[in-house]
Structure 1
C-alpha cells in the first residue's frame, strides 16, 4: 500500500528517443563528463595495477625478501595486507571524487534527458 502511494507520488520520467541519446552522447556536456571520468580512473587503475605487479614480481623473484620477519609477520604478509588497504583506499577516494565531480554532471544530463 505504501509502495503504491510512493509510486503514485513520484514524478513521471519521460523516455528519451534514440536520437536524443545520440545527440547527448555527441554533446560537449557528455564529453566533459567522459573526460573527467577517464582523467581520474585511468591513472588510478594504472597505479593500482603497477602496485599489484610489484607485489607479484616481488613474491616470485624475491622470496627471501618476502619471507623476512617484520613486526611479527613476514614482509610478504604485510605486502598482501597492504593490497587490501590500497583497494579500500582507492574505493573510498573514488566515491568521494565521484560524488563531487561525476554526480552533479550526471544529474544534469539525466535531468535534461528525462525532464
Structure 2
C-alpha cells in the first residue's frame, strides 16, 4: 500500500512539473485535471487510513491486547 501511494504521489508531482499542458486541461468550468488529481490525493489518503484502521482493529488490536494481558499477568 505504501509503495502504491508513493507511486501515485510521485506521478502527481511529476505531472505537475513536466506535463503542465495536461494538468491545465479544464474538466468542468475552472476545475482542471491538476485540481481533480490533487483532491484525489486527499481521498486516497483518507481511504488508506480507513483501511488500515479496520485492519488494525481486526488483526493488530487483539494481538496487542493478548500481549498486554500476558505482561500484566507476569508483573
Q: Same fold (TM over 0.5)?
A: yes
Per-residue CA deviations over 1:71-111 (Å, capped at 9, x if unaligned) read 23100000000000011101100100110010011110111
Looking at structure 1, the residues matched to 52 and 28 of structure 2 have their Cα atoms a distance apart, in angstroms, of 31
> How many Å apart are 1:114 and its aligned residue?
1.3
Looking at structure 2, the residues matched to 63 and 84 of structure 1 have their Cα atoms a distance apart, in angstroms, of 21
| Matched pairs, number | 72
Structure 2 matches for 1:5-44, cutoff 5 A?
44=1
Q: Which residue of 1 aligns with 2:53?
A: 95
By relative contact order (CA 8 Å, sep 6+), the higher-ranking structure is 1
Which 4+ runs in 1 deviate beyond 6 A? none
Radius of gyration: which is bigger? Answer: 1
- Unaligned 5+ segments in structure 2 are none
Q: Which residue of 2 aligns with 1:105?
A: 63
Once superposed, what is the RMSD of the aligned Cα atoms? 0.7
Could you state the TM-score of these two structures normalised by the residue count of structure 1? 0.61
- Unaligned 5+ segments in structure 1 are 1-43
